[in-house]
Amino acid sequence: MIDPYYVQEDDHLDDMKVQLKRALGLTEEDLKRLSPEARNLFSARRKLGHTWLDDYEIVVTVTASPGGCGCGVQAGQKIVFDMRHRVKAELSDAPLCVHLMSPVLSIFYMTFDRGAEGLNPLTCIWRYAECPMTGPDHGAGKALCSIHMRRVDTHEPVIDRILLPREASA
């Protein structure tokens, strides 16, 4: 039996080139130089049928800003990111505070691996964050936020640990 996660030498991910170029800004030359390990990771996405980079987004909702955040962030405001780590300004209503956005980067450090394997990138560990600016009040006034992933098409929160391919969730 052939291991389904084994990348064959002649698999150059031809059926995924357009998506990989768009999602990661890769050139044709970059794709030719991919290591077998990288091709294996991308191949897993193909096998799972996931289009998760386009199907999901991360929502950071401010839950509290007790000390009157210096950037003007207030409870109830949100910042929405696509899965390529870009802010969706048209869906965001919070000031784009780099201090509040910086903790969210740690989530994106592991999303590709988990998402490519069909797992929800947000586990119970990654549900909350806070502004790292402590200020003279020793952090009493820093903004706090909750983080969740949602479907792009319905804006329904994703709570399942396993991501479903688009056709299975429709």
pLDDT at 1: 40
DSSP string across 14-76: GGGHHHHHHHH---HHHHHT--HHHHHHHHHHHHHT--HHHHEEEEEEEEE-TT--TT---TT
7: number of Cβ within 10 Å: 20
- pTM, two decimal places: 0.70
pLDDT at 165: 62
pLDDT at 145: 93
CB-based contact 72:157 (threshold 8 Å): no
Walking along the chain (170 residues) 10 residues at a time, the average pLDDT comes out as 52 80 86 82 63 85 84 92 90 90 79 70 76 81 89 89 64
pLDDT at 40: 74
pLDDT at 32: 86
pLDDT at 116: 64
pLDDT at 91: 97
